[in-house]
Structure 1
Amino acid sequence: MQTGTTSFITTGDGVRIAYRFDGRPDRPVLLLSNSIATDLHMWDGEVPKLVSDFRVLRYDARGHGQSDVPSAVYSLDRLGRDVVELLDALELPRVHVLGLSLGGIVAQWLGIHVPDRIGGLVLSNTAACLGPPAQWDVAIAELMAAPDMAGAADMFLRNWFPAAMLEADGATVQAFRRTLLTTRREGVAGSWAAIRDADLRRTIALVTQPTLVIAGENDTVTTVRHSQEIASTIPDARLRLLEAKHLPNIERRDEFLDIVVGFLRGR
């Protein structure tokens, strides 16, 4: 369990998953699960504060970052099992989980299927179901027919950041653009298929962990309505709204972290 370096596990289906620890080994572990088309570095700005309370475990989902990129349709079950196999390999019986966007969908799956492995659950800018399925089929076909990730990168950035941040084109936006342009299309397409086929609207009623739901008031991808649906279905879940688009951890970092740490501390 090295700290500050990237290591790898291999899943049961032969896919290498990259992960990294930050923080002291004696702290409770907080697993961070990323948005689609990002890698574990999307949390670089948050880790310095999080390590005051937690040992932070980050990973690249299959199809992203330094993890392998199978050219296949991914399923939510497989994405969830990747996390379970990571926890097994690292001998971590129980962790807190913070998932954003697709990471939040994976976090919901974990809460449903391995409740004994999850302490506190934070679901940020996510949904229990993002339909209709046909829209994902069109998106997948268009992405795989495109010559590169340039068009998709522009689309993701518009969805993630407010106009003022995009116009300023600062270091943060540039870093996310670089990641998008180097992300393999097969990984995004496979992950979109997992989103297309996922519908947790009924089964999240089985989640028993303390749950915090965070929504961006200006999020056009996973809207406030999606967050309200989750919070009203998971028993005793809390809902917090932030004035942000799809990445409040970036746009409203201090407020986001105060909410997350305040919720998880002591659980």
Structure 2
Amino acid sequence: MPIIRVNGIDVYYKLQGSSQNELLLLIAGFASDSSTWAAMMPSLLEEYQVLRFDNRGVGQSSAPDGPYSIQQMAADAAALLAHLGVARVHVAGHSMGGQIAQELALSQPEKIQSLLLLSAWAWGDGKFNALIELFGDLTQKLEGTLYQKVLLPWLFTEKFYSTPGAIDQLIDLIEKQPFPPTSHGLYHQSRAILTSDTSNRLMDIRCPTLVLVGQEDLVTPIKFSQQLSQGIPGAELVMLQGGHAFVVESAEAVAQAMLSYLEKQRRLSSK
């Protein structure tokens, strides 16, 4: 089981695919471990070597009971890359993972070949912050599967709910999750989100950047992605069908959008 000790915690990671291919790092969001990318992996592995890991607070990584920050979690990711001797990498982050990816691009610009921000944001407005605060507070009131069930309507669309068996299958996966997150780990992740803001530093992100968002995203609405694409020099904005959890609900469409952008950047860099 690949676990390394960095920054005072154990970090679980999974490296798949041919080492002959360029490396793509995937960073999951709030309350999600590296398995959140599972449906996208077959397509991504056709073109890239893929590195996934569990952020502090979830999965098989440590969940210390103390304050977290997005910059701290970006430092965890940077330490993992250093441990593996990675010189250059494409980085994709979903939701909170998009915040972590931004901080990684700002702190390690020489390593980042391209940045893909999915359901992401630079700073939250009043409604968003109230929602994230509530998600954190509910970790102290609700347990396990019930907590996850409360979050699901915010993450998935009516179309997904109307698909026979889709939600039941998802809940079954949640109930069988071998490494469920701790309530304190989720609470500290929520507070890390609330204290994160890259709005005044977006112009310092100089790598090619794709901003992807679901058209029915209730958590991080389209305006957040528009702000990112307007603030990051040369960033491209693409809107797809799906909600906040479109990496699950519309996994193949998201994977193809990512691969298409990366292929376009590859062609441009080879000219």
Letter matched to residue 105 of structure 1:
Q
The answer on 1:31 being equivalent to 2:25 is yes
Give the conservation status (yes or no) of the 8 Å contact 1:166–1:173.
Answer: no
Q: Tell me how far apart the structure 1 counterparts of residues 203 and 136 of structure 2 sit (CA, whole Å).
A: 30
CA distance change for structure 1 residues 180 and 211 in 2, over 3 Å: closer, same or farther?
A: farther
User: Which of 209, 212, 219 matches 2:210?
Assistant: 212
CA distance in 2, matches of 1:159, 1:36: 13
Counterpart mapping for 1:1-267 below 5 A: 6-12=1-7, 14-132=8-126, 133=129, 136-144=132-140, 146-166=141-161, 168-170=164-166, 171-176=169-174, 178-179=176-177, 182-265=180-263, 266=266
- The answer to whether the 8 Å contact 2:43/2:252 transfers is no
Counterpart residue type for residue 76 of structure 1: I
After TM superposition, the score normalised by the length of structure 1 is 0.91
Structure 1 135/240 Cα, relative in aligned 2: closer, same or farther at 3 Å? closer
Whole-angstrom CA distance in 2 between matches of 1:137 and 1:248: 22
Partner-residue secondary structure (3-state), 1:27: coil
Q: Which is further off, 181-190 or 237-246?
A: 181-190
- Coordinate RMSD, CA, aligned: 2.0
User: After superposition, what is the alpha-carbon deviation per residue over 1:208-228, rounded to whole angstroms, capped at 9, x for unaligned?
Assistant: 000000011100101100000
Give the counterpart letter for 1:69 in structure 2: A
Residues 1:251 and 1:150: Cα distance change in structure 2 (over 3 Å): closer
Instruction: Name the residue aligned to 1:3.
Output: none
Unaligned runs of 5+ residues in structure 1 are 1-5
Find the aligned partners of 1:176 and 1:210 in 2 and give their Cα distance: 35
Q: Alpha carbons of 1:180 and 1:131: their partners in 2 closer, same or farther (altered >3 Å)?
A: farther
Looking at structure 2, the residues matched to 99 and 231 of structure 1 have their Cα atoms a distance apart, in angstroms, of: 15
Return closer, same or farther for 1:169/1:56 CA change in 2, 3 Å cut-off. same
Equivalent pair of 2:123/2:196 in contact (CA under 8 Å): yes
How far apart in 2 are the matches of 1:75 and 1:208? 23
Contact kept in structure 2, 1:165 and 1:173, CA below 8 Å: no
Q: Which amino acid aligns with 1:216?
A: G
Identity level (%) = 27
In the aligned structure 2, how far is the partner of 1:86 from the partner of 1:129? 26
CA contact (8 A) 1:73 1:189 kept: no
Count of residue pairs brought into register by the alignment: 260
Residue 259 of structure 1: how far off its partner (Å): 1.1
| C-alpha distance after superposition, 1:161-206 (max 9, x if no partner) | 1234335343345324654992211111111111010011111111
Q: State the Cα distance separating 1:134 from its structure 2 match.
A: 5.8
1:18-41 alpha-carbon deviations (Å, 9 max, x no partner): 000110111111000002111111
Alignment-mate amino acid for residue 156 of structure 1: L
Cα offset for 1:248? Answer: 1.9
- Could you say if the C-alpha distance between residues 254 and 150 of structure 1 is closer, same or farther in structure 2, counting changes exceeding 3 Å? closer
Q: Distance in 2 between matches of 1:177 and 1:163?
A: 22
> Structure 2: any 5+ residue segments left out of the alignment?
none
